[in-house]
Structure 1
């Protein structure tokens, strides 16, 4: 395996499901999981849905301030809803983005969640195969708390922070659709920020810290950020695949120990720079739901809410 990465690899979902090409593409997936923690997933069958959803995003964000404030996350008992521009911070800096959960979006959201969740479940089984594990290895960790965001990054001064360096927290994988603006970057082992330019119709998939914990750190989450655009608005749609909220940390560690024994070791022990602490395995909490609530509450006191919806 290579020592580090200088670009994000492309994995073809159709080839993963074709008996003729599956073994070769599983090898590509394995390297992406071990070395990068990020990949482009192409030929998913969701291209039309992705295009249609992006067409509708500007309309949602053009709703009046009053309409958006009615569903502000601060007023929601579930910590879900709208976040205005500048209401979030990452690493003490303000994030220049906003996201809505507003009337008129329900049908679009429900279709997007249903189809992406189905894809995500199939993908996780393929990940198990590429790690030489039974396909159903990770089935028992899947929960019903997957989350979807619609995110807007307005133009800002050069090198402004769209969202600061972070790792996605408490789930398995993130499936991100981005428009053609660019700005997403991932951190490699050498401390270099690598651009993740848009590929039309693709989903950018990355490991979350929950999957890192389940695999005992063998499949690690990767630090990433978004540089705010300078000349045009950027829209993105992240889908966060969740884990069971009743999963205790003791159960997770026990399962991880069993899984780690069965995953062939990677030759690359330090594949990525690790500069963001994990909130997933806090010793202060006994189960995932406790940890998730803690993260949500902290989000209301100016911690990044990238992990809230």
Structure 2
């Protein structure tokens, strides 16, 4: 039920957590443009520079992470040609007939990888089903440049991923472009983890041991166009209101718009596309490790156009078996740890299991 504060009207949204439902106040006003400090633009051109340069980047990211937890990055080092090629491959995959896409249905593979059809997910069960389809891959050590020269034994996960690639082998260049784009984002994510350590007043190597075999999930997402964008009552959400699960997300989005972020005042703000950038957002596990210092902020996608929208997110989490505690720089007498130690793998598993349980 909507309530009024001064001249503004608010409602509530419900979020699913391991401690039960949580509620956030949300303005019913139309989305607005962000203020300069709400989703800032951060230059990563000196991310490989000296320590002083990296600390300057860390300071800018710290301010963003403590505000909305969302920011854009540019000069990130990932080739525009590679991004365009990955987008071309995503479009080629989704342009296939449904029976071709279902050959790599996520029901055949581990860890939710593979194809999810339109309307098969509902990230927020108090809103409509998600009006999107996805193709996803998970971490595979054989694709990780960090372990390029290390002999590895095939795991059930890597065997499952090989079967997945077989199912898309008829698409020329699909596997090559998808893996290379995954590798480049993993490389960037590892650099950002070191910057985030500096932003938390830690040694930049603090998290190195927990990103050797990280959770590194990559998706292609297609949001079909809507027939009548003006009919807001009957237009489903592209993806419902939620926070991300792991440490942070790197998102490439096309020029369609539709990504909206909940401000600290409970207003939806538009995270409009900016050419040459990724959107980065803090996720739940990093908020947990920072003792709520860094913000994992609610966001959603509303596709309000007749044309398709495409995005390509990459989700970074720590090693599944690494048990992590609130970092020491975020704890003192006035700020005791709010969370018990937990492994990133258990955290991720329990959150996904909770979402699955709610659907049954």
Equivalent of 2:192 in 123, 127, 134: 123
Residue 289 of structure 1 deviates from its aligned partner by: 2.9
Residue 137 of structure 1 deviates from its aligned partner by: 1.6
Residue equivalent to 2:131 = 96
Residue 155 of structure 1 deviates from its aligned partner by: 1.2
Q: Are 2:253 and 2:310, in contact at CA under 8 Å, matched by a contact in 1?
A: yes
The alignment's C-alpha RMSD in Å is: 2.5
Q: Which has the larger radius of gyration?
A: 2
Task: Write out per-residue CA displacement over residues 24-61 of structure 1, whole angstroms, 9 at most, x where no aligned residue.
Answer: 44432221111120110101121332122123321110
Number of residue-to-residue matches in the alignment: 274
Equivalent of 2:348 in 292, 301, 309: 292
Equivalents in 2 of 1:87, 1:302: separation in Å? 14
3-state DSSP class of the match of 1:237? strand
3-state DSSP class of the match of 2:247? strand
Residue equivalent to 1:14 = 45
Pair 73,301 (structure 1): closer, same or farther in 2 beyond 3 Å: farther
3-state DSSP class of the match of 1:39? strand
3-state DSSP class of the match of 2:107? helix
1:166 equivalent to 2:237? Answer no
Pair 94,203 (structure 1): closer, same or farther in 2 beyond 3 Å: same
Q: Are 1:125 and 1:136, in contact at CA under 8 Å, matched by a contact in 2?
A: yes
Task: Write out per-residue CA displacement over residues 236-277 of structure 1, whole angstroms, 9 at most, x where no aligned residue.
Answer: 0000012111133xxx23xx1524148xx9xxxxxxxxxxxx
1:33 equivalent to 2:33? Answer no
Q: Structure 2: any 5+ residue segments left out of the alignment?
A: 1-33, 137-166
Residue 130 of structure 1 deviates from its aligned partner by: 2.9
Equivalent of 1:153 in 214, 217, 223: 223
Pair 233,62 (structure 1): closer, same or farther in 2 beyond 3 Å: same
Per the normalisation by structure 1, the TM-score is: 0.80
Q: Are 1:153 and 1:229, in contact at CA under 8 Å, matched by a contact in 2?
A: no
Pair 79,22 (structure 1): closer, same or farther in 2 beyond 3 Å: closer
Give the structure, 1 or 2, with the largest relative contact order (CA under 8 Å, sep 6 or more). Answer: 1
1:244 equivalent to 2:279? Answer no
Equivalents in 2 of 1:15, 1:259: separation in Å? 25
Residue 298 of structure 1 deviates from its aligned partner by: 4.8
Residue equivalent to 2:152 = none
Pair 137,227 (structure 1): closer, same or farther in 2 beyond 3 Å: same
1:71 equivalent to 2:123? Answer no
1:192 equivalent to 2:267? Answer yes
3-state DSSP class of the match of 1:229? coil
Superposed counterparts of 1:130-141, under 5 Å: 130-141=199-210
Equivalents in 1 of 2:67, 2:342: separation in Å? 31
Equivalents in 1 of 2:48, 2:81: separation in Å? 20
Pair 197,247 (structure 1): closer, same or farther in 2 beyond 3 Å: same
3-state DSSP class of the match of 1:145? strand
Residue equivalent to 2:279 = 204
Q: Structure 1: any 5+ residue segments left out of the alignment?
A: 266-280, 304-309
* Bigger share in strand: 2
Pair 178,257 (structure 1): closer, same or farther in 2 beyond 3 Å: closer
Q: Are 2:134 and 2:219, in contact at CA under 8 Å, matched by a contact in 1?
A: yes
1:61 equivalent to 2:94? Answer yes
Residue 191 of structure 1 deviates from its aligned partner by: 0.4
Q: Are 2:55 and 2:198, in contact at CA under 8 Å, matched by a contact in 1?
A: no
Equivalents in 2 of 1:226, 1:95: separation in Å? 9
Pair 22,293 (structure 1): closer, same or farther in 2 beyond 3 Å: closer
Q: Are 1:152 and 1:233, in contact at CA under 8 Å, matched by a contact in 2?
A: yes
Per the normalisation by structure 2, the TM-score is: 0.70
